[in-house]
């Protein structure tokens, strides 16, 4: 089984519901005929209306951008994994660097969130990546290895089939500075070899590893042509239908 090619848009805290519906419909119309998988990670408020509107197919799927680590309880303002699963939202992003930074989510908490998501039957796009200081110190591979070891590598082989990994160097997110295709490939190959050591060849070869960090219509092709880059997790450029469709077409 060849691993999936995925273009995932992370809208973050952008779009009101009307803009969001228009954007999702435009993207879904263009993406449905493709062999690749398109995922739209939208604000919680958009999930239910979009689920109705775009009739999520195996080609166009919705994702939440976070979930709580408990299934239910007195956690005002939070959304749980079973709530998402009950709405038939297939994916959730966990470990995005913005949540690690602004919401103080560490590897230990992310390990609990992964457990909650998988127990609820969700698939997870799990983000990892280093800051600029770590990259400059040439410690980026070790840093990502620690993130994966402390959060992700608690999972069983069967559970790993529900994981997509997104490598997102923090210095490239929203900065307009993209990792070079060679930098992306180096890390993706390193992650795949970590997967092989921990879970064996099958999981290593079948796990999609996405690159994120200033992916655009005009650089996606080169990034996606790298052997171990299976697509992108796209922030800013996913908010414009034309640009995002260009990225989907870059495979």
Catalytic residue selected from 98, 105, 130, 168: 168
First to last CA, the chain: 18
User: Which 3-state string (H, E, C) describes 5-61?
Assistant: CEEEEECCCCCCHHHHHHHHHHHHHHHCCCCCEEEEECCHHHHHHHHHHHCCCCCEE
If one asks whether residue 212 binds ligand PGA (CB under 6 A), the answer comes out as: yes
169 to 188: interface string for ligand PGA, x by CB under 6 A: ----xx--------------
172: Cβ–Cβ under 8 A, 6 or more apart, which residues?
A: 178, 179, 212, 213, 214
Q: Which one, 100 or 204, has the nearer CB to ligand PGA?
A: 100
Minimum separation from the CB atom of position 154 to ligand PGA (A): 24
If one asks whether residue 200 binds ligand PGA (CB under 6 A), the answer comes out as: no
DSSP annotation string for 147-192: HHHHHGGGS-HHHHTTEEEEE--GGGTTSSPPPPHHHHHHHHHHHH
Question: How many residues bind to ligand PGA according to rule CB under 6 A?
Answer: 13
In angstroms, rounded to a whole number, what is the distance separating the alpha carbons of residues 242 and 251? 15
| Annotated catalytic residue 168 | yes
Rule CB under 6 A: choose which of 160, 236, 241, 250 binds ligand PGA.
Answer: 236
Backbone Cα Rg of the chain: 17
Minimum separation from the CB atom of position 13 to ligand PGA (A): 12
Q: Which one, 42 or 173, has the nearer CB to ligand PGA?
A: 173
Nearest residue by C-beta to ligand PGA?
235
Minimum separation from the CB atom of position 244 to ligand PGA (A): 10
Any idea which residues carry the catalytic annotation?
Answer: 96, 168
Which residues contribute to the site for ligand PGA (CB under 6 A)?
A: 10, 168, 173-174, 212-215, 233-237
């Amino acid at each position: 089984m060849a691993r999936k090619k995925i273009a995932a848009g992370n809208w973050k805290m952008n779009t009101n519901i009307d803009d969001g519906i228009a954007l999702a419909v435009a993207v879904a119309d263009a993406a449905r005929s493709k062999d690749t998988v398109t995922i739209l990670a939208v604000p919680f408020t958009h999930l239910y209306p979009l689920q109705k509107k775009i009739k999520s197919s195996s080609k166009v799927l919705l994702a939440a951008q976070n979930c709580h680590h408990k299934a239910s309880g007195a956690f005002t303002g939070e959304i749980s994994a079973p709530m998402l699963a009950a709405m038939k939202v297939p994916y959730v992003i966990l470990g995005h660097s913005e949540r690690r930074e602004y919401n103080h989510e560490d590897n230990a908490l992310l390990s609990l969130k992964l457990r909650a998501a998988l127990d609820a039957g969700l698939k997870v796009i799990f983000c990892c990546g280093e800051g600029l200081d770590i990259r400059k110190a040439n410690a980026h591979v070790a840093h990502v290895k620690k993130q994966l070891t402390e959060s992700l590598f608690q999972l069983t082989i069967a559970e790993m089939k529900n994981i997509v990994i997104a490598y997102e160097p923090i210095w490239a997110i929203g900065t307009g500075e993209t990792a070079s295709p060679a930098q992306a490939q180096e890390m993706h190959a390193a992650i795949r070899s970590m997967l092989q050591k921990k879970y064996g060849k099958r999981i290593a070869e079948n796990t999609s590893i996405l690159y994120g960090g200033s992916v655009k219509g005009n650089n996606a092709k080169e990034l996606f042509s790298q052997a171990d880059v299976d697509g992108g997790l796209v922030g800013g450029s996913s908010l414009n239908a034309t640009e995002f469709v260009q990225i989907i077409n870059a495979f």
